[in-house]
């Protein structure tokens, strides 16, 4: 069955992009598939192609910062399906990705048939995980999981403020970067802390930066 779904493959490995394209072509017409090798390229494509409906996102693509790229995609483009692809099959990482809203998680060791099966499941409205992965008893940090779920409550502008808080910028510096009043930034910060259910900006920044550490030890 073929779906006319506008798709982006975001992976920095040409051979795997080719394999993904081949597998995706069993479900998606090839003329609907675009490719990029880094996060900047991905967001550039999204700006000029608002019709995109599906993204294959490599966990360690340049610029991804662990799961921060996934969280940003889910925040800015909540209607786009995101399937994570990775050589990392650590159950806790897979569970974190799914808790952030990934529609599926495809190990790079998967055969083309399995990849095609995964794509079909996701396009039919289901989530997909490898058959041998059971996340039922996988324990992840409760505070981090709650934080991940709450990220979707932020507006794109609040998400940008949070990212700069995590980088250590002060309110006046954030206001300068965004060309808005410092009082507006203070309002954003208050809303961010409330929506994320955290005590202060330091806690928010630490939890956000923890997302960037996910998958850092992956061997490509």
DSSP 87: S
pLDDT tens across 140-159, in order? 666 777 887 888 899 999 99
Pairwise CA distance, residues 1 & 101, whole Å:
25
User: Quick one: pLDDT at residue 203?
Assistant: 92
Is a pLDDT exceeding 80 seen at residue 167?
yes
pLDDT tens across 39-79, in order? 999 999 999 998 999 999 999 999 988 889 999 999 999 99
Instruction: Supply the DSSP string of 147-178, one letter for each residue.
Output: HHHHGGGS-HHHHHHHHHHHTT--HHHHHHHH
Q: How many CB atoms lie within 10 A of CB 132?
A: 7
User: What are the boundaries of each domain within the chain?
Assistant: 7-123, 142-211
Q: Does CATH place domain 7-123 in 3.40.50.720?
A: no
Answer CATH for 142-211 from 3.40.30.10, 3.40.50.1110, 1.10.10.10, 3.40.50.300: 1.10.10.10
User: Quick one: pLDDT at residue 214?
Assistant: 67
Q: Which residues contact 82 (CB under 8 A, 6 or more apart)?
A: 54, 55, 57, 70, 73, 74, 101, 102, 103
Pairwise CA distance, residues 45 & 53, whole Å:
12
């Amino acid at each position: 069955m073929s779906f006319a779904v506008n798709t982006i493959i975001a992976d920095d490995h040409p051979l795997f992009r080719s394999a993904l394209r081949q597998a995706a072509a069993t479900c998606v017409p090839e003329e609907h598939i675009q490719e990029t090798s880094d996060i900047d390229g991905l967001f550039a494509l999204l700006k000029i192609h608002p019709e995109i409906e599906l993204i294959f996102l490599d966990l360690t693509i340049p610029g991804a910062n662990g799961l921060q790229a996934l969280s940003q995609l889910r925040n800015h483009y909540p209607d786009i399906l995101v399937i994570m692809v990775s050589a990392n099959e650590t159950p806790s990482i897979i569970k974190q990705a799914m808790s952030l809203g990934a529609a599926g998680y495809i190990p790079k060791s998967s055969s083309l048939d399995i990849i095609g099966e995964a794509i079909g499941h996701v396009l039919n409205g289901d989530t997909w995980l490898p058959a041998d992965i059971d996340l039922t008893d996988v324990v992840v940090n409760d505070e981090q999981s709650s934080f991940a779920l709450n990220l979707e409550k932020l507006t794109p502008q609040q998400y940008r403020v949070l990212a700069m808080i995590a980088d250590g910028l002060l309110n006046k510096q954030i206001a300068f970067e965004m060309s808005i009043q410092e009082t507006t930034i203070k309002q954003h910060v208050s809303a961010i802390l409330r929506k994320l259910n955290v005590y202060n900006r330091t806690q928010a920044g630490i939890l956000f930066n923890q997302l960037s550490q996910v998958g850092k030890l992956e061997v490509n």
